[in-house]
Amino acid sequence: MRKPAPAQHRRPAREAGAAAPALNIASLTVRYADILALDRVSLGLEQGNICALVGVNGSGKSTLFKAIMGLVSAGTGTVRIFGAGSKAARKNNLLTYVPQSEDVDWTFPVSVHDVVMMGRYGRLGPTRRPHSADREAVDHALEQVGLTSLASRQIGELSGGQRKRAFVARGIAQQARLMLLDEPFAGVDKGSEATLTSLLQRLRADGKTILISTHDLAGIPRFCDEAVLLHRSVLAHGDPAEVLTTENLARAFGEGATSGAA
């Protein structure tokens, strides 16, 4: 079974009662009509780790994120986030999610700042009127992703990579404890990717737990504490070096893929 993650010493001391794992999935099965997308997936994530989610196209990565978010209904199995169910976790701002592709209207009359402020809504009163602490949190989040100078632009006036960073900033402003990032590096250049990975490492230092799907296998050991190899069910989970072996990758990607990657 999986070894304790190597990054445990980085975890800040937590208040009592917060010992529940960041994520605990037990025997989760999800179907779309007759397509079995996830088959008895069980997965636990310790708090304060960055975990890479790896698998071929169609292996169920996005479905796993959606199941954690309660966006697709789990056929069977349970999902617990810091010990809470998906809905309670969402209501308590424990979870944030940056989807693979944003299903939003890019001509919508909102600025980058407005979008990041939407991360605060769960912490505001019924009319969502922001206070100065919220504006500070938004400014801080924008600064962390390097979008301060573009804050007043309309959201559609950003490039693809900048848009991704804006949505990550929204998650930072939300101050969620578990961040789900579905392929944030897709279509992002090396410079932006480096900015994003160092940002993720800083967020981990703040005690965040991050589950991130990616196809950049070579980059994983640099910033991830653990990796999960998914192919409808979990093939391997643990230290990246032990999970991303040629043998495992051959099982997940097929023989051709690994010889190509090697």
Partner 1 sequence: MELLNWLAEPMLYGFMTRALIVTIAAALVCSVLSCWLILMGWSLMGDAVSHAVLPGVALAYIAGVPFSFGAFVFGAGAVALIGVIRSTTNLKSDTVIGVVFTTLFAVGLAIISKTPSQTDLSHILFGNVLGVTDGEFVQVLVLGVITLAAVLFKRRDLTLFAFDRTHAHALGLNTHWLSTLLLGLLALTVVVALQAVGIILVVAMLITPGATAFLLTRRFPVMLTAAAGISVLTAVVGIYASYYWDASTGASVVLAQSAVFTLAYVFAPRRGIIARARVRHAHRPAAAGAVQ
Ligand X SMILES: Nc1ncnc2c1ncn2[C@@H]1O[C@H](COP(=O)(O)OP(=O)(O)OP(=O)(O)O)[C@@H](O)[C@H]1O
Interhelix angle for 160-174 vs 190-205, to 10°?
Answer: 10
CA angle 49, 173, 70 (to 5 degrees): 65
187 binds ligand X (CB under 6 A): no
93 binds ligand X (CB under 6 A): no
For ligand X, give the closer residue by CB, 32 or 149.
Answer: 32
214 binds ligand X (CB under 6 A): no
Cβ density class 39-78: b for 16+ within 10 Å, e for less: bebebebbbbbbbbbbbeeebbbbbbbbbbbbebebeebe
CA angle 4, 237, 33 (to 5 degrees): 140
Please choose which of ligand X, Mg ion, partner 1, none residue 60 contacts, taking the beta carbon within 5 to 8 angstroms, the exact cut-off set by kind: ligand X
Sheet containing strand 233-238, edge to edge, reads 95-98, 178-182, 209-213, 50-54, 226-231, 233-238
Closest contact distance (angstroms) between CB of 216 and Mg ion is 14
131 binds partner 1 (CB under 8 A): no
Q: Which of 47, 49, 63, 214 binds ligand X (CB under 6 A)?
A: 63
The token pair at 120 is 């605060």
Contact range with ligand X by CB under 6 A, out of 53-61, 82-90, 91-99, 245-253? 53-61
Q: Which of 58, 85, 160, 254 binds ligand X (CB under 6 A)?
A: 58
Q: Which of 47, 49, 59, 192 binds ligand X (CB under 6 A)?
A: 59
**Reduced 3-state DSSP string for 47-87:** CCCEEEEECCCCCCHHHHHHHHHCCCCCCEEEEEECCECHH
For ligand X, give the closer residue by CB, 158 or 252.
Answer: 252
Contact range with partner 1 by CB under 8 A, out of 126-134, 140-148, 206-214, 222-230? 126-134
Which residue in 119, 101, 103, 102 sits closest to 171, CA to CA? 119
Q: Which of 24, 42, 148, 154 binds partner 1 (CB under 8 A)?
A: 154
The token pair at 147 is 């979008």
For ligand X, give the closer residue by CB, 174 or 214.
Answer: 214
96 binds partner 1 (CB under 8 A): yes
170 binds partner 1 (CB under 8 A): yes
118 binds partner 1 (CB under 8 A): yes
- Contact in structure between 23 and 178 (CB atoms under 8 Å): yes
- Contact in structure between 171 and 65 (CB atoms under 8 Å): no
57 binds ligand X (CB under 6 A): yes
Closest contact distance (angstroms) between CB of 97 and Mg ion is 13
Residues that bind Mg ion (CB under 5 A): 61-62, 100
